[in-house]
Structure 1
Amino acid sequence: MRVVLVIVAVLVLGGCTQSEPPKESPAVPVFSTAPANAGVERTVPQNCDAVASLDDLSRILDTFVTGPVQPVVGVPQDNIGRTARLDCYYGVPAGQPNSAAPIWIGLTSYVNDESARKRLTATVADERAASGTVNVSDVAVGADRGVLIRNANWMLVVGRGKTTVVVQVAPALVREDHAGALLGQVADFALTSR
């Protein structure tokens, strides 16, 4: 009798461990890390840690990001209304240029909202012209909307008032079906003063 009970228990437990694979990919987790002033226009900070740290990016993208962070400070440019710019290159491989970084975040401020919108439109147009065929879609970035561009990398461009952000991530770091949501979270984080 004991042998029969053991066999029945093994069969029942064995049946419990089998499951069908999910029919849809799991939802992208949304991290609520934005402070109370989220959505408020921010100024361009002095350093990349104030934009996003490696730990922030690792948490949001759910992948370990390592390597040096290389800042490039831009100068005001009157002809486009730019007042400040900070480009942050995360995880730059040793001995390679900043452009080899798997993550790039560029935060820029302009004299007014109109100048910022014009630069966003020009950035999207430049990306389309550079690669010929580009997949473009509209994605949520906090309370705002941004443009997700897919060419050699994932790129998201969005503005909040007089400030714009461009987030570029190597395709190996994010799944295609999660790219919009994850880059949207990174952009919202970068656009939020802390």
Structure 2
Amino acid sequence: MKRKALFLDRDGVINVDFGYVHQPERCVFIAGIFDLVRLANETGHAVIVVTNQAGIGRGYYSEAQFASFMQWMSDRFAKEGATIDGIYHCPHHPDAALDAYPQSCLCRKPKSGMFDAARQDFDLDMPASILIGDKRSDMEAGRRAGVGHCFMFGSKDKSEVPKGALAIDALLEVSPLLNG
């Protein structure tokens, strides 16, 4: 039986986006994130992080530093009784400084490559799944991947929220959908 997922963008949804966050001392978690992930775990949703990480392609930090930071983040969630089931990242950027990271890829949001990989790895029911992102590119990637419920978090200008997505101001606003 296919599993529902809660897809989360990282910077701006899980943690405050200070720009290229890759060290624990620079991480400030968004209010409600641990409660949200615990609820998703309790309701049987796979919790999947899908994050563009252009800082890798630009040479600001390495894949190893990113992996170390995400392990720290996963451990922090575990201490709060919450589990992140999968982490997918795109290190590419159109202006990448490092030759090892081509400028064109299928994974960078708004493309759906990270979602498509998670769908295969976790046998996901995309129309029954939820995405919370903070950018139009998140919403577009979710739409392309067939995610049924897309929420744009924290947008000051509601006109920025694309058609087919809903604006939320608090992460736990999606709780009824997780419980349903």
Q: TM-score range by the shorter chain?
A: 0.3 to 0.5
With the length of structure 1 as denominator, give the TM-score of the two structures: 0.31
Larger of the two Rg values belongs to structure: 1
Structure with bigger strand share is 1
